[in-house]
Amino acid sequence: MSLLSQSLLIRGGRIVTAADDYLADVFVEGERISLIGADLDVSAERTIDASGRYLLPGCIDPHTHLDMPFGGTVTIDDFESGQGSAACGGTTCHVDFCIQGKGQTFAEALGAWHAKANGKAIIDYGFHIAVTDVADEERLEELATLPEQGITSYKLFMAYKNVLQVDDETLFRAMEVAAASGALVMVHAENGDAIDVLVREALARGDIAPIHHALTRPPELEGEATNRAIQLARIAGSPLYVVHVTCREAVEPIRRARERGWNVWGETCTQYFFRSIDDLAQPGFEGAKYVYSPPARDSSNHDVLWDAVRTDALSAISTDHCAFLWDGQKTLGQDDFTKIPNGGPGLEDRLKMIHHFGVREGRISLNRMVDLLATQPAKLFGLYPRKGTIAVGADADLVVFDPQRTQTLSAATHHSKCDYNLYEGTEVVGAPEHVLLRGTVLVEDGELVAAPGTGRFVRRARFGEPLETGAAVSS
């Protein structure tokens, strides 16, 4: 059962934000942080002893796909299982992708996605709109109105030809709309036209195994599309966010743009630090577990990505959680790699993996981890300062994190419905102990205690604007 919001004192935690690191108590009243200070003299209905623990802001995942149709099937995690998994991993808010179907209005698409979440939400959430069809001026005019509804980011695919891919005219016109409406443009940056040619050539040769998913999507095509999107956004005057960056070829144009002061940001995903093209070459059909787009690259890119997040060439780490069963969904492509549903799980493991291999192994600081997993996603996607930090007046989205708690990551124990784990058997040191959303305890001693209905839809602020503490959160 859910432990409902109450006055709560978190005593003696080591508060870590993107900028600060200090010992203090936090007093929560209702849904907000009311007081922060040493040895607070207040009475509370409940006290949590956080001594020896980190107190982190709830993590924000800006890139997830729950209950999403793809390739003739639907992702295995709906909003209940996906958000429950997120909560157990210390994520208290995410932004999911609402996919506009061909011929659909944006209102129709959003209505369908709101229905998917209705009654199932455990954590707070927002929506990006994935634009696939702006065939006329009326649709562009509708796109311009979405920020008024709290939908302040537009996603466009430069890949998945004949399915999700848009042409450069559509991309550029959406960028112009975003520049005028206060939205952030997101791109999946791969050259879908060239990939389509390479895929057809591979199939003609009889190359059908999972490894050919990666071989037909080389890093140069990610780099080309990334640079093209940056230049188009520069001309349109639109801010740009490049999702799931995997390789040096894409990092470098983003780094150059940021050094020039352009409004360009990039994210990578947890899996790209740890998985490589070699995983797709595993014997049998095991490689299908690692089929997602862009694909895992040569392992030399792991250090490239750690350097990029450390130096702010890349500004966020998401999961791109897009989970399919290996047995029964991934196996749809047993005889043709193009029919393997693209995507992998990971919502629950991001904080634990980045803490262990990033912070404990000295690649990034604790403050930078919080910045990458909470603060920058909040700032870029219109959730800050309500979320993404620990401050008086902010939502009481909090993670009591035990830096010595040991876990072995496994499909046998994770809360996703997925039948495999990308990091199966990996032992990590450091894990969430308690997780709170707006003062309500979601996770108690590592176990999910919240019921569906705790989470709410968040109307996000326009790009670059703050989400004021009085802003609307819809039930």
Give the pLDDT confidence of 411-422 residue by residue, as tens digits. Answer: 999 999 999 999
Mean pLDDT of 435-444: 98
pTM, two decimals, is 0.96
Mean pLDDT of 181-192: 98
Q: How high does pLDDT run on average in the chain?
A: 96
pLDDT at res. 474: 47
CATH class of the domain whose range is 58-380: alpha beta
CATH class of the domain whose range is 8-56+395-474: mainly beta
Residue 5's pLDDT band, with cuts at 50, 70 and 90, is: low
What span, in angstroms and rounded, lies between the C-alpha atoms of 418 and 345?
A: 7
Identify any residues that bridge with 27 across adjacent strands, giving them in sequence order.
9, 35
pLDDT at res. 468: 77
Range in 13-27, 133-147, 433-447 the model is least confident about: 133-147
Domain boundaries, the chain: 8-56+395-474, 58-380
Q: Does the pLDDT of residue 472 top 60, yes or no?
A: no
Q: Does the pLDDT of residue 470 top 60, yes or no?
A: no
Residue 4's pLDDT band, with cuts at 50, 70 and 90, is: low
Strands (E), 341-468: 398-408, 427-437, 440-444, 447-448, 457-458
Which tens digit of pLDDT belongs to each residue from 118-154? 999 999 999 999 999 887 889 999 999 999 999 999 9
Q: What percent of the chain is modeled with pLDDT above 70? A: 97
Residue 469's pLDDT band, with cuts at 50, 70 and 90, is: low
Nearest 5°: the CA angle 440, 148, 380 is 60
Q: For residue 148, how far is the Cα from the chain centroid?
A: 23
DSSP 3-state assignment of 8? strand
| Residue located via tokens 């993996």 | 353
- Residues listed for the chain: 475
Domains 8-56+395-474 and 58-380 share a fold: no
Mean pLDDT of 378-386: 98
Tokens representing residue 253 in the block: 């144009």
Which tens digit of pLDDT belongs to each residue from 325-342? 999 999 999 999 999 999
